[in-house]
Amino acid sequence: MNFNWLRRPRRNRSSSQVRDLIQETSLSTCDLIYPVFVKADIDQPEPIPSMPGIFRHSLDSLIQECKEIATLGIPAIALFPVIDPAHKTAEAEYALNPDQILFQALKRLKKELPELLLIADVALDPYTSHGHDGILNAKGEVDNDATVALLQRLATVEAQAGADWVAPSDMMDGRIEAIRIALDNANLTETSILAYSAKFASAYYGPFREAVGSRAKSSSDYLDKKSYQLNPANRREALLECQLDEKEGADILMVKPAGPYLDIIRELRNQTLLPIAAYQVSGEYTQIHAAAQNGWLDLEKTREESLLAIKRAGADMILTYFAKEIAQKLNRQPLI
């Protein structure tokens, strides 16, 4: 039986050639940022059990990993330090120690791989004994302004060590403007700020916290950071945070996590002319791997669909632990 339908949308899906011609969203290596971990006093990379294929790198193995990343065409890495608990204190003094591993890594990477864009995390949780992203006051609460003062200094030293972008991930009020002022006063006007603008108090950060060791010292439970990270239920509040960061001088706005917050990425895309980054976080990576290991999902197809969804929602760049393997595949064939 033949119907005389005027519109038959399946014509535009009839062959691979047609599908390729009309594909609306695509992913390239230029869209990817690879998060990497660096740790002092180790000789070999340490596997992270909850993140298959991801390692805590020694300085030497980090350099080798980043050389491969650059060869694959990935333009940027986001660097996260793993700090020995012996160096952690309530006031996070070690964050500014000139010999700490983050500064060593930035200096060496900038010297050996000047073409690779270096993004440095601006946060105190790697350095605090309590695991919070800030300094605590006498009541045990995160002191916003004392924290911002220290973040200004940390961002400045990171930029002086070689960071091209500094990325404040703490969610303190006013920190973007304060960091911009500090950078400019230090004649670092070329250093960009990638703002974690809509960072939610998410359950998806667990594997990352294991990787950097930022759980509460006295407990295996993850810290409650709801007094500074966003309520997952709040859309308008997330957009307000993004508006404030833009006014305060952010160069790029970020939504984190990515997959569970595609609606935020889409609304932010409609609201701002600034570039948007999205962080496909450790929990998103881990759950795809876990399901694939159990035979419940196809690893390659699921990871690629998840990244295309983030791009389709409006992200210009994606921080993802899949970056390396995606780039390896893209160098062989385009993603369909």
Report yes or no: 278 and 254 within 8 Å, Cβ to Cβ.
yes
94-117 per-position pLDDT tens digit: 999 999 999 999 999 999 999 999
Q: What single letter denotes the amino acid at residue 256?
A: K
The strand pair at 276-280 and 252-256 is best described as: parallel
Q: Which amino acid is at 188?
A: L
Residue 218: per-residue pLDDT: 43
**CA–CA distance, 122 with 199 (Å, rounded to integer):** 14
- The CATH number of 27-330, from 3.40.50.720, 3.20.20.70, 1.10.3210.10, 1.10.357.10, is 3.20.20.70
pLDDT tens sequence across 260-282: 999 999 999 999 999 999 999 99
CB 196 within 8 A of CB 168: yes
What is the pLDDT, as a whole number, of residue 219? Answer: 47
Name which of 319, 172, 189 is nearest 249 in CA terms: 189
Peptide bond into 257 cis (omega under 30): yes
Query: 217 and 131 in contact (C-beta within 8 Å)?
Result: yes
- Rounded average pLDDT over 128-133: 94
Please give the pLDDT value at position 69: 96
Tally of helices (H runs) and strands (E runs) in the chain: 11, 10
d(CA 223, CA 217): 10
Per-residue pLDDT of 62-79, as tens digits, reads: 999 999 999 999 999 999
Whether 136 has a pLDDT exceeding 60, the answer reads: yes
Q: What is the pTM of this model?
A: 0.94
Instruction: Kindly report the number of other CB atoms within 10 A of residue 114's CB atom.
Output: 9
Largest CA distance in the chain: 79
CA distance 264 to 234: 10
- Tell me how far CA of residue 118 lies from CA of 74, 77, 110, 115, 264, in angstroms: 12, 6, 8, 9, 26
The string of pLDDT tens digits covering residues 284-334 is: 999 999 999 999 999 999 999 999 999 999 999 999 999 999 999 998 765
Could you give the residue numbers annotated as active site? 199, 256
* β-bridge partners, 142: 136
The rounded distance, in Å, linking the Cα atoms of 152 and 148 is 6
Domain ranges (residues) in the chain: 27-330
Task: Report pLDDT for 215.
Answer: 58
Mean predicted confidence (pLDDT) in 177-202: 98
